[in-house]
Amino acid sequence: MKEDEVLQLVKSDRKSGLQTKAVTNRLEEVGLNQLQQQQGTSAFSLLLQQFRDVMVIILLVATLISGLLGEYMDGLAIIAIIILNAFLGFFQEYRAERSLKVLSQLAAPQSHVIREGRRLLIPAEQLVPGDIVLLHDGDRVPADLRLLETHSLHIDEATLTGESLPVRKSTDAIMKSNLSLGDQENMAFMGTSVTRGRGVGVVIGTGMDTEIGQIAHLLQSAERASTPLQIRLEQLGKLLIVLAIFLTMVVVGLGVLNGEPLYQMLLAGVSLAVAAIPEGLPAIVTIVLALGVQRMIRRRAIVRKLPSVETLGCTTVICSDKTGTLTQNKMEVVQLLSGRRRIDVSGNGYQPVGAFTENSTPVNVAKILELQRLLEIAALCNQAQLLCNGDGSHPAHWRVDGDPTEGALLVMANKGGVDAAYLEKNWRLMGELPFDSERKRMSVLVENGKDEAFLFCKGAPDLIIQRCEWQLLDGRLERLSAGERARILAVNEEMARSALRNLAFAYRPMPLGGGNKLDEHMEEGLIFVGMTGMIDPPRPEVAQSIKKCHEAGIRTVMITGDHLLTAVAIATQLGMLPPKGKVLDGSQLDQLNDDELADQIEEIQLFARVSPQHKLRIVKAFQANGHVVAMTGDGVNDAPAIKQADIGVAMGKGGTDVAKEASDLILADDNFATIEAAIEEGRNIYDNIRKFIRYLLASNVGEILVMFLAMLAGFPLPLVPIQILWINLVTDGLPALALGVDQPEEETMLRPPRHHGENFFSRGLGSKIVSRGLAIGIVSILAFNWAYKGNMEQLAYAQTVTFATLVVAQLIHVFDCRSERSVFARPLLQNRLLVGAVLLSFFMLVCVIEIEALQPIFHTVSLTLRDWTVIGMLAVMPTILFGMGGLLQQRQLRMAR
C-alpha cells in the first residue's frame, strides 16, 4: 500500500499528525499501547497465602485439639495471634507488590511524535493508530509503523525475526502479499531497535494488535525470578527448618519425660517451631529490597532488576563514560579556528546570545566567507533542535532536543545569524549520511537557491583533514599543503589540551540533480573551512564521588570516544588520573590480544578514542581478573558492554531505549555521583539484611534454648504456647523490619567491596548469632530459676518473669545488631523507626502483663518494680558484655595498626 493510502486509511496527516480530540477518541477505542501482562496477585489471594504455611496449619490443628480438651481461651487467643500475624504478613507483601509495580513503570519508554503540527515527547503507551512517530539512532520502535521517510535507517529485528544483521529500511510500496516479517522493508515493528539513521512512520498497530502482540498471545507471562539473595536465604531457611524441628522434637520429648501433658507439649512444640523457623525471611528480603530501591529512586537511581541491588555492594570497578556522566553534558562552543583566525565565542548554556571576538575585537561574521560557511555546515549537518520554553530571556528557558554536541553547534550558528529562518530561506536538505561511531563523521547533501548543490561534512578533525585537499582561506580556495595540515593539527592538539572537544568542518560542490543517495566515497576531496572547540565542564560533585569510590576500594576508569588529550584533561581535573597513571587509546588497544589486555588493565586508568568493540573487551578483561564491573553508557553502541557488565548502567535523560533495555540501573540525572550513591545504598541494603538475619536467628536461638535448658534441668515449661507465639508476632516482626531500613554506617564507603560469593555467616556473623542467642537463653532461664524456686505455686509468676526477660533481652539486643562492631559504635536513637518499634513492642508487653483482662489469655500475672528491675538487669547483661568486648577488640585493632 502506498504512503498516502496508508495515511488516508488511518485518517492522519503527515505534517500535522493527529488532533488531540482524535487521540482521546482512539485511546478509548483501542486502549493503551502496551502488551497484556500477567495479572498481579490479588489482595485476597495474598491474604489466603498467609494461611497456607505448613506450620500454621499444624498450629491450627493443635489449637483445635486444645479446644476439644476444653482449653477454649488458649485456642481463641492463638487463633487471634495467627490472624494478626497473617494480616501483618499480608500488609508487608502487598506493600512490596505495589512497590515493585511502581518500579516497573518508572523506566517506561517514550516516543517522539508530531501532534497538531508540534513535535512532542510522550509516553509510548499513549500512542494510537495514526500517530506520526519520529525514529532516531538508538530508539526502540514503540508500535508497528508504516515508514513514510527514511535516512539510512537500519533496524535490528532479531527479537522478532531472528535475523542477525540490521535491516535497511525504505519507504517503497510493496505489492507482494503474504510476505514474511523480514521482507517487509517499509515497516518498523514494535520492540525492534533502530541501530542507525533516522526515519518517520505512521502508527498502524498498537499493543496486542502489533506483530509482537500476536506472539504475546501465545506466551504465558513468566513468574518473577527470585534474586540470588532470596535463593540463598530460602536454602538457609530449609536448613534452619530441619534444625528447628529436630530441637523442637527434643524439647517435646524431654517435656513429656518430665511429666508435662502430651497435648500441652505438642502445642508448645508447634508454637516453638513456628516461632523458631524464619519462614518469612524471603518475604522480608523482598520488602527490604523494594524499600531500598525506592530510596535509590529518591537518589535518582532507578533499579530495573532486583538482583543488581545485591551486586552493587560487590562492585570493584566502575567503567564510566565521560560525556554527560562525569561532565554536565551541556556543550558550548567557546573557540573556533576559521582560516588562520582564532576566534572566541561567548555565551551561557544553550541561550543563542553571544559574541564572536578575535583578540577581544568583535568579528563581523557575514564578512568572513569561511566562517559563514562553517556556521552553515554546523546548522545543516545537524539533527538537533533548539527549543525555547519561555520568553527566551534566561538561559534556563532554552534546551536542546538531540545530541548536546550538535546542540552546541546549533546555538553557535544562531549566535552568528544562521538560524531556522536563514536556513529555510537559503538552503534545502536533500540527503544525509548520519554520524556513525565507526566513521566518526556526518554528511548532508544540500541545495541553495542559486542552483548549487554541496556536500557538507563534519567530524573528528584528524579524520576530516585526511579527506581534505583544499581549504577556504580569506575567501579563496587554496591547496591544503602538508605545512597547513600540520598547522591545523597543531591547533587541534593545543585546543584538546585545554579539554576542548573539537570538530572539523568541510564541504565540496556536488552536481545538481544527483538524487539524494549519498555514499562514503563522496566524502573525499573536501574543502576545509574550520574547526570548533567546545567544552563540557565536569560536574562539580563528581570529584568528591570519585574520591569516595577510591576510599571504598572501587576503581574508577574513564572510557570515552573523545580525543586522548581532552580525556586526560578532564580525568586529571576529576582526580581519576594520577600523575603517572597509564592511558591507552583505541589504536594501542587493537595491538593487544585479550590475554595481554587482562595482564595490563590493572594499571590503566583511562581509555580514549575507543569503539564499541573496545568497550566490550575492556569489560571482559576486568571480569577475567575477577572484578565485579559496573559499566555506564547511553548509546546503541554501548549496549553490548552494558549487558556484559555485572552492573549495566544507562543514562535516563540522554540514554537510548536500547541502552536502557540492556541495563540493570538507570541514572535519572545521568550523573556519576548517582552511581556512587547507588553503590552506597546497595551496600547498606545488604548490611541491613545481615542485621535482621542476625537479630531473627539470635532471637530464635534464645527461644529454643530457654525451652531446651528448662527441659534438661527438669523444670516445668518456662513459657506457654501463647507467649511463644506472641514473641514471634510482636518482638521478632516489628524490630526486624525497622532494622531493614536502618541508615548506613559511617564506614560503609570506607571498607573494601565484599566478595560476590560471600556467605551470610562470614565476618563473624555466625558466631555472633550463636553467642548472643545462647546468652539470651541463659539469662532467661536464670530469670525463671530466680522466680520459680521449685515452687509450683510460683509457676505462673516464673513464666511471666521469663517471658518478660526474653522479650526485653531481644529488644535490647536489636540495638546491638545495628553494628558489626559494638552496640556503642552507633547512636542508639539514630534509627527513630527502630526506637518506635522497640517502644511499641515493650508497651504491648507491659499491657499483656499488667492489664487484668489480658492476664488469663496470656497466662501472666502482674509484676512489681523489683521484678522489672531484675528483669532489666538480666536482659541488658548480654548486650553490655558483648558491647564492651567489641569496644575492647576495636581498641586492640587500632593499637595493632
CATH number at residue 134: 2.70.150.10
Task: Please tell me whether residues 775 and 880 are part of one structural domain.
Answer: yes
As a whole number of angstroms, the distance between CA 9 and CA 33 comes to 19
On the question of pLDDT at 554 being above 50, the answer is: yes
Confidence (pLDDT) at 100? 45
**CA pair distance 381, 441, nearest whole angstrom:** 10
CATH number at residue 641: 3.40.50.1000
User: Are residues 432 and 498 located together in one domain of the fold?
Assistant: yes
- Are residue 206 and residue 134 in the same domain, yes or no? yes
Q: Tell whether 184 and 83 lie within a shared domain.
A: no
Confidence bin at 278 (pLDDT 50/70/90): low
Domain count, the chain: 4
Judge if 274 and 339 occupy the same domain: no
Q: Is residue 40 part of a domain?
A: no
Residue 221 pLDDT grade (very low, low, confident, very high; cuts 50, 70, 90)? very low
Average pLDDT (70-84) is: 60
Asked if 696 and 832 sit in the same domain, the reply is yes
Q: What nine digits make up the cell of 561?
A: 570516544
Q: Which of 482, 508, 535 is the last residue of a domain?
A: 535
Q: What is the pLDDT of residue 219?
A: 44
Exactly one of 137, 321, 638, 816 is catalytic; which is it?
A: 321
Model pLDDT for residues 654-684, shown as the tens digit of each residue:
676 767 777 888 888 888 888 888 898 888 8
Quick one: average pLDDT of 614-625? Answer: 92
Alpha helical stretches, state H, 727-831: 733-739, 765-788, 795-816
**What's the mean pLDDT in 30-41?**
71
436 in active site? no
Domain hosting 519: range is 332-535
Residue 104 has pLDDT above 50, yes or no: no
The set of cell numbers assigned to 499 is 579539554
Residue 287 has pLDDT above 80, yes or no: no
Matching residue, cell 570548533 = 532
- Whole-model pTM: value is 0.67
Residue 529, phi then psi, degrees to nearest 5: -120, -20
**Does the pLDDT value for residue 224 go beyond 60?**
no
> pLDDT for 708-743, tens place per residue?
888 888 888 888 878 887 887 777 677 887 888 888
pLDDT mean over 503-527: 87
Q: Which helix (H) or strand (E) holds 146?
A: strand 144-156
Looking at residues 102-109, what average pLDDT do you find? 50
Q: Would residue 36 count as lying in a domain? A: no
C-alpha span between 512 and 521 (Å, rounded): 18
d(CA 816, CA 409) in angstroms, rounded, equals: 59
**pLDDT of the residue at 741:** 82
Please indicate, yes or no, whether residues 652 and 691 belong to a single structural domain of this protein.
no
Whether the predicted pLDDT of 837 surpasses 60: yes
501 plus 560 within the same structural domain = no
In this predicted structure, which of 49-53, 207-211, 857-861 has the lowest mean pLDDT?
A: 49-53
In a domain, 568, yes or no: yes
pLDDT tens readout for residues 809-827: 999 999 988 888 777 778 8
Share above pLDDT 70 across residues of the chain, in percent, rounded to a whole number: 82
pLDDT at residue 705 greater than cutoff 50: yes
The pLDDT value recorded for residue 21 is: 92
Q: What pLDDT, on the 0 to 100 scale, is given for residue 376?
A: 95
Averaged pLDDT for residues 507-530: 87
Whether 312 maps to a domain, the answer reads yes
Residues 890, 822: contact at Cβ < 8 Å?
yes
pLDDT at 71 over 60: no
* Contact status, residue 670 vs residue 654, Cβ threshold 8 Å: yes
CATH number at residue 829: 1.20.1110.10
Planar angle of CA 760, 763, 765, nearest 5 degrees: 60
User: What's the whole-number average pLDDT of the chain?
Assistant: 83
Q: What is the pLDDT of residues 785-802, one digit of tens each?
A: 999 988 888 999 999 999
pLDDT of residue 24: 93
Q: Is residue 561 domain-shared with residue 703, that is, in the same domain? A: no
Q: Per the structure block, which three cell numbers stand in for 104?
A: 516497573
Percent of the chain with pLDDT over 90: 34
Q: Are residues 184 and 117 in the same domain?
A: yes
CATH number of the domain where residue 517 is located: 3.40.1110.10
Nearest Cα to Cα of residue 152 among 606, 692, 520, 683? 520
Q: What is the pLDDT of residue 747?
A: 83
Grouping H, G, I as helix, E, B as strand and the rest as coil, residue 390 is coil
Listed residues 201, 218, 235: the one ending a domain: 218
Residue 172 has what pLDDT? Answer: 85
Q: Which residues contact 310 (CB under 8 A, 6 or more apart)?
A: 227, 228, 229, 682, 685, 686
Does residue 35 have a pLDDT over 50?
Answer: yes
Q: Is residue 753 part of a domain?
A: no
How far is 647 from 814, CA to CA, in rounded Å? 33
Answer with the one of 196, 218, 240 that is the final residue of a domain: 218
Largest CA distance in the chain: 115
In a domain, 708, yes or no: yes
Please give the distance of CA 285 from its chain centroid, rounded to a whole number: 18
How does residue 569 score in pLDDT terms, banded at 50, 70 and 90? confident
Report pLDDT for 180: 67
In sequence order, the β-bridge partners of residue 479 are 470
The 10s digit of each residue's pLDDT in 443-466 is 999 998 788 899 999 999 999 999
Based on the fold, state whether residues 604 and 715 are members of the same structural domain: no
List pLDDT tens digits, range 369-417: 999 999 999 999 998 889 888 888 887 788 888 777 889 999 999 999 9
Contacts of 298 by beta carbon, 8 Å cutoff, 6+ apart: none
Is residue 821 assigned to a domain? yes
C-alpha distance from residue 145 to each of 52, 149, 199, 479 (Å): 48, 11, 11, 48
What does the angle CA 439 – CA 440 – CA 446 come to, to the nearest 5 degrees? Answer: 90
Q: What is the mean pLDDT of residues 551-564?
A: 88
Q: What is the mean pLDDT of residues 501-527?
A: 87
146 — pLDDT class (breaks 50, 70, 90): very high
- Residue 39 in domain: no
Q: Which spans in 10-130 are helix H?
A: 20-30, 43-49, 54-68, 72-106
Please report which confidence band the pLDDT of residue 597 belongs to, taking 50, 70 and 90 as the band edges.
Answer: very high
With the C-alpha atoms ordered 719, 721, 726, 729, is the resulting torsion angle positive or negative?
Answer: positive
99 pLDDT band, cuts 50/70/90, is very low
Q: What is the mean pLDDT of residues 337-354?
A: 91
- Which whole number is the average pLDDT over 617-645? 86
Cα–Cα distance measured from residue 347 to residue 84, given in angstroms and rounded to the nearest whole number = 65
First-to-last C-alpha distance (Å) of the chain? 79
Q: Which residues does 713 contact at the CB level (< 8 Å), separation at least 6?
A: 781, 785
| Average pLDDT of the residues in 323-346 | 88
Residues 515 and 596 in one domain: no
Query: Cβ(332)–Cβ(535) under 8 Å?
Result: yes
pLDDT of residue 281 exceeding 70: no
* 39 burial via Cβ count (<10 Å: 0-12, 13-18, 19+): exposed
Report whether pLDDT(59) > 60: no
* Range name among 115-124, 464-473, 516-525, 582-591 with the lowest pLDDT average: 516-525
